[in-house]
Amino acid sequence: MANIAEQRIKREFKEVVKSEEVAKCHIKVELVDDSYRELRGEIAGPPDTPYEGGNFLLEIKIPETYPFNPPKVKFLTKIWHPNISSVTGAICLDILRDQWAAAMTLRTVLLSLQALLSAAEPDDPQDAVVAKQYKENPKIFQQTARHWTNIFAGGPLREKDLESKVTQLIGMGFDQNKARIALSTYNWNVEQATEYLLS
């Protein structure tokens, strides 16, 4: 790994670890091994959002050309959000693409991701299905996002109606995750979701 990148990450790592957001358990970053090339990030779902109470794990890969190029970040925890792929965890955020600046840090990235959870940009989606639901059925979107937060990120709020629909499809012999994705995609219409799963 290029020396500049390694030195910089070492210093940043210290910066994040002692920051006040870490002290308040809002963000966290850990080493995966000794190389400083891959890190594990964690952000808390912001209050007053469907992600509240959830903890979201992030894969952070540091390119050799860091800090002149941005870190590669994706969600490891599954999440229902217009700017994050519900399938791959890929993130659509300007500072992780063409608006990265070398003066930014891992802390900036984690706080920006947290801000993205508070303020989605459905007009520039990463996940077109989620974005469509966000715009057309905001209430269903909220419920779905909360359900995913509960199931995958340890969020405290259960969506019992949605859970029973998942259970219903499992009872019909479908895989749990596939059933959840189909139901989420078809606005929790059991008939349409079943049809999709059968096709």
Partner 1 sequence: MTSQLGKAPRQLPVIRACSIPRIEMAEELDFQYDPEKNYDEETLAQQKEIEREIVDTQQLVGERVSFDRLIREYAQEDEIYREKIEHLKNLYSCVRKTRGDGNCFYRAFGFAYLEKLLVDRTDVERFKDVVSKSLKVLVGLGFPQFTIEDFHETFLDIVNKVTNHCTHQELIDTFNDQGLSDYIVVYLRLIVSGHLQQEAEFFANFIEGDRTVKEFCNQEVEPMGKESDHIHLKALTDALGVCIRVEYMDRVDTHTCNHINFPEDSKPTIVLLYRPGHYDILYSNADMILFQRNLPK
Residue 149 near partner 1 by CB under 8 A: no
Q: How far, in Å, CA of 111 to CA of 58, rounded?
A: 13
Residue 93 near partner 1 by CB under 8 A: yes
The tokens describing 14, both together, are: 């210290």
Q: How far, in Å, CA of 59 to CA of 109, rounded?
A: 12
The secondary structure of residue 129, as a DSSP letter, is H
Q: x-or-dash pattern for partner 1, window 14-53, by CB under 8 A?
A: -x----xx--x-x-------------------xxx-----
Q: Which of 118, 167, 176, 177 binds partner 1 (CB under 8 A)?
A: 118
The tokens describing 157, both together, are: 């709020």
Options 28-36, 115-123, 140-148, 190-198: segment touching partner 1 (CB under 8 A): 115-123
Options 107-115, 137-145, 166-174, 190-198: segment touching partner 1 (CB under 8 A): 107-115
CB 159 within 8 A of CB 141: no
Q: Which of 70, 58, 54 is nearest to 154 (CA)?
A: 54
CB 197 within 8 A of CB 178: yes
Residues that bind partner 1 (CB under 8 A): 2-4, 8, 11, 15, 20-21, 24, 26, 46-48, 67-69, 82-83, 85-88, 90, 92-95, 97-105, 107-108, 111-112, 114-116, 118-119, 121, 124-129, 132
